[in-house]
Amino acid sequence: MIKTPILAAVAMAFAGSAFADEMEYMPPVTHAATLEECSACHMAYPAGFLPAQSWRVMMTTLEDHFGENAGLDEETRAEIEAYLVANAGRDLSGDGAVPQRISELPWFRHEHEEEVSKRQFEKAKSWANCNACHERAEQGIFEDD
């Protein structure tokens, strides 16, 4: 069958939401150093939520990490980077972008825009605070609960 450009465009539009459905479960961080060092200020985000190039950039800019100094000794830093890159998600952008926030990805906005009440957001204070709303986020569970 010849795929017309229109069909291809429809397939593209759905790809984002299909990907989010796949993410009802996202394997949680199991690597000891990542768990310890990357959950000091927020939960340790599953590696699969960002593509490899995002983790590489983040792991070389930890001294200026969202306004905080999250710097590590070189050995630990390299070990965590290797773990995150090895378990990274697919690059959905298709343009080599290096997003640093899960909460700014198109699928994330799509999934959250109309689902979250003002009250729920005020309680969580930040989109980065996944586990304020997803009680089982640390077990990798993000489905409706």
Binding stretches for ligand HEC (CB under 6 A):
20-21, 23-24, 37-38, 40-42, 45, 49, 58, 65-66, 68, 70, 80, 101-103, 111-112, 115-116, 120-121, 124, 126-130, 132-134, 142-144
Distance CA 115, CA 78 (A): 37
Q: Least CB distance from residue 97 to ligand HEC, whole Å?
A: 14
Residue among 97 and 116 whose Cβ is closer to ligand HEC? 116
DSSP letters for 25-84 = B-PPP--HHHHHHTTSSS----GGGSBHHHHHHHHT-GGGBTTB-----HHHHHHHHHHH
Alpha-carbon torsion 84, 90, 93, 94, what sign? Answer: positive
Q: Least CB distance from residue 50 to ligand HEC, whole Å?
A: 6
Residue among 11 and 22 whose Cβ is closer to ligand HEC? 22
Distance CA 29, CA 135 (A): 16
Residue among 8 and 104 whose Cβ is closer to ligand HEC? 104
Distance CA 31, CA 22 (A): 22
Q: Least CB distance from residue 39 to ligand HEC, whole Å?
A: 8
Q: Least CB distance from residue 62 to ligand HEC, whole Å?
A: 6
Residue among 8 and 30 whose Cβ is closer to ligand HEC? 30
